[in-house]
A and B are shown apart, each in its own frame.
Chain A
Amino acid sequence: MPTQYYLFLSLALFCIGIMGTLMRRNAIIIFMCIELMLNSVNLLLVAFSKMYGHADAQLFVFFIMVVAAAEVSVGLAVIVLMYRKVHSVDVNILNRLKH
């Protein structure tokens, strides 16, 4: 398959991720959309890696996975902390609590 199909697919996934991050109000879903963005990048990198015949982009993918896992561990901890306090994972509640 030509590489541009992968490019279009991953750009579509990326845009879905961005739209989700900006429009959804549930912190967990926002978080999932961010993961979707990262994974679309992974797909694109692997496709480019195949196109150029280099392995370094695939190596990059492993680093993205590891860092995403580190981010998940921090992020979920923060969300749980928030949930214990306000019993909600809705990000709108944050803006109401501001002042």
Chain B
Amino acid sequence: MAALLLLLLTGVNAYEALTLPLEGKRLFNDMLMPGQVSAWFNTLMTGCTLLYVMLSGRDIRKVGNHVADYFALIFFTLCGLYILSSYNTLLMLFLGIEILSIPQYILAGADKRNLKSSEASLKYFLMGSFSTGILLMGIALLYGAMGTFHISEFSFPTTELFSPLALAGILLIVVAFGFKVSAAPMHLWTPDVYDGAPTPFASYMATVMKVAAFYAFIRLFHNSLGSVSNKWMLVIMIITAATLLIGNITAVFQQSVKRMLAYSSIAQAGFMLFAVLSVNELGRQSLIIYAVAYTLATVGMFTVLAKLKDYTYDGFNGLAKSNPMLAFATAIFIFSLAGIPLTGGFMAKYYAVSALMTQGNAMWLVLFGLLMAAVSVYYYFRVIWAMYFKPGTPQLHEPMTTTDNWLLLFTASLVILVGVAPQLVLAFA
């Protein structure tokens, strides 16, 4: 049922992407301005959600008794995504972020019998509402400087004189977005929350929700604050470098694959920040392709993880012998996350790096990012090493069905498709 509804939503968004004007249509008193690109982003993300529901529908049903609620909350999150992809006022930005986040607080605590799940929910809720407070202060200060909430009407003085209110507002908004996309040093909640939350919901949090926050980030910082990029560039550069460093280095030391994926999601956020830093068209395209490649691979990895009883690297020992199809799909996802050529992850990293190089004043960050991508190969390939070269019998919750296997292979083939033909993803972007 949920899958049918999602299919319908994907279709509607694709139709919108075909018909909406490129510059955007003004809706609700200029509050929303959906254009072709945002409708296309919606289409891609709804499609990913459809795939996610089909892949982990069975795992979602096993989390607790309120299955209908879980699906409803996933749809609310999607609603937040639609607002965030087309907002034109800071009010809609705030509402979108809240509609996106509040269902996630509930989903993180969905497994009520498990103390870790409740703990994750509480932690996520406290950090999330703290960041909301910061975001609101940023919005209020920016309003004080600009006199309007409409981001398309912001005008900055061309002289050296820059309102300290606006500067403080922009910095607070950067910090708040940093919380939402789990960029270092605001990433501390991420590993605990992803680790404690039920695996199928952690997967949704790490992917669609994070990507939606990134799209909102870009929409504000490219379109309306792009003209004053010299004011905020340095801060985001430092955040990016810290995110890449902390995410990758800490991931190396993890023993649990679930925690490793949490740190890897921080590390991948570092690369997505490249798209924010490069204030150009290519940057936006690189975010969209990164969003799709990262979402497909991470959803796939979490689905595999949800099937296993043991979340440590040892849990993957000998998977290639007992479930060759599962192991093969996992290997493709890992290749994509590590950025091996011919997979979506490679194309995503390639676009992100070339967008930043076009922008041209952060070459040291490009080199640093490539170095960190090399580090990431180590911890990603430990999974492949365990699956293919270590003896063992992995414990599954239940035997894999043929449908599950084929769906995972289908997801893996989509990952390859993104890597081979990225222009398909960028058809309307």
Mark A residues whose CB is within 8 Å of B.
7, 10, 14, 17-18, 21, 27, 30-31, 34, 37-38, 40-41, 44-45, 48, 51-52, 54, 56-57, 59-60, 63-64, 67, 70-71, 74-75, 78-79, 81-82, 85-86, 91, 94, 97-98
| Given A34-B126, A67-B94, A75-B125, also A81-B136 (CB < 8 A) | no
When the two chains form their complex, are residues B140 and A63 in contact, meaning their CB atoms are under 8 A apart? no
Q: Which of B91, B119, B137 contacts A82 (CB 8 A)?
A: B119
For A38, the chain B residues whose CB sits under 8 A away are 132-133, 136
When the two chains form their complex, are residues B137 and A94 in contact, meaning their CB atoms are under 8 A apart? no
Interface digits, B128-169 against A, CB 8 Å rule (1 contact, 0 not)? 011011101101110110011100000000000000000000
Q: Which of A31, A45, A56 has the most CB of B within 10 A?
A: A56
**Shortest CB–CB separation between residue A34 and chain B, in angstroms?**
5
**Shortest CB–CB separation between residue B63 and chain A, in angstroms?**
15
Q: Which of B91, B132, B137, B144 contacts A60 (CB 8 A)?
A: B91
For residue B95, CB closer than 8 A to chain A, the reply is yes
Closest to A94 in B: B119
When the two chains form their complex, are residues A74 and B106 in contact, meaning their CB atoms are under 8 A apart? yes
Q: A14-B137, A75-B129, A82-B119 are in contact. List 6 more A-B contacts (CB 8 A).
A: A27-B126, A31-B129, A56-B149, A59-B91, A60-B149, A64-B136
When the two chains form their complex, are residues A97 and B115 in contact, meaning their CB atoms are under 8 A apart? yes
When the two chains form their complex, are residues A52 and B115 in contact, meaning their CB atoms are under 8 A apart? no
For B105, the chain A residues whose CB sits under 8 A away are 74-75, 78
For A94, the chain B residues whose CB sits under 8 A away are 119, 122-123
When the two chains form their complex, are residues B122 and A78 in contact, meaning their CB atoms are under 8 A apart? yes
When the two chains form their complex, are residues A78 and B109 in contact, meaning their CB atoms are under 8 A apart? yes
When the two chains form their complex, are residues B122 and A54 in contact, meaning their CB atoms are under 8 A apart? no
For residue B404, CB closer than 8 A to chain A, the reply is no
- Please measure, in the bound complex, the distance between the C-alpha atom of A86 and the C-alpha atom of B95, giving whole angstroms: 33
For B139, the chain A residues whose CB sits under 8 A away are 41, 60
- Please measure, in the bound complex, the distance between the C-alpha atom of A82 and the C-alpha atom of B111, giving whole angstroms: 12
Please, could you name 13 A-B residue pairs with CB atoms under 8 Å apart, sorted by A?
A: A17-B133, A21-B130, A38-B133, A40-B137, A44-B144, A45-B143, A56-B91, A56-B148, A60-B91, A67-B95, A71-B129, A78-B121, A98-B192
- Please measure, in the bound complex, the distance between the C-alpha atom of A39 and the C-alpha atom of B192, giving whole angstroms: 29
Interface residues on chain B, size class: 20 to 34
Closest to B121 in A: A78
For residue B249, CB closer than 8 A to chain A, the reply is no
For residue B102, CB closer than 8 A to chain A, the reply is yes
**Shortest CB–CB separation between residue B67 and chain A, in angstroms?**
19
**Shortest CB–CB separation between residue A92 and chain B, in angstroms?**
12
For residue B66, CB closer than 8 A to chain A, the reply is no
**Shortest CB–CB separation between residue A51 and chain B, in angstroms?**
8
For B132, the chain A residues whose CB sits under 8 A away are 34, 38, 67, 71
Closest 10 CB pairs of A and B: A37-B133, A41-B136, A44-B140, A48-B144, A34-B129, A67-B98, A78-B121, A94-B119, A41-B140, A52-B147
For residue B112, CB closer than 8 A to chain A, the reply is yes
| Given A71-B129, A78-B105, also A41-B137 (CB < 8 A) | yes
When the two chains form their complex, are residues B143 and A57 in contact, meaning their CB atoms are under 8 A apart? yes
Q: Which of B98, B112, B140 contacts A81 (CB 8 A)?
A: B112
For residue B303, CB closer than 8 A to chain A, the reply is no
When the two chains form their complex, are residues A81 and B118 in contact, meaning their CB atoms are under 8 A apart? yes
For B149, the chain A residues whose CB sits under 8 A away are 56-57, 60
For A52, the chain B residues whose CB sits under 8 A away are 147
Q: Which of B126, B134, B140 contacts A45 (CB 8 A)?
A: B140
For B116, the chain A residues whose CB sits under 8 A away are 97
- Please measure, in the bound complex, the distance between the C-alpha atom of A82 and the C-alpha atom of B116, giving whole angstroms: 10
When the two chains form their complex, are residues B133 and A86 in contact, meaning their CB atoms are under 8 A apart? no
**Shortest CB–CB separation between residue A28 and chain B, in angstroms?**
11
Closest to A43 in B: B140
Q: Which of B118, B130, B140, B144 contacts A78 (CB 8 A)?
A: B118
For B121, the chain A residues whose CB sits under 8 A away are 78, 81
For A74, the chain B residues whose CB sits under 8 A away are 102, 105-106, 125
**Shortest CB–CB separation between residue A40 and chain B, in angstroms?**
7
When the two chains form their complex, are residues A48 and B133 in contact, meaning their CB atoms are under 8 A apart? no
Closest to B98 in A: A67
When the two chains form their complex, are residues B147 and A54 in contact, meaning their CB atoms are under 8 A apart? yes
Q: Which of B91, B119, B130 contacts A97 (CB 8 A)?
A: B119
When the two chains form their complex, are residues B115 and A37 in contact, meaning their CB atoms are under 8 A apart? no
When the two chains form their complex, are residues B94 and A63 in contact, meaning their CB atoms are under 8 A apart? yes
| Given A45-B140, A54-B147, also A63-B122 (CB < 8 A) | no
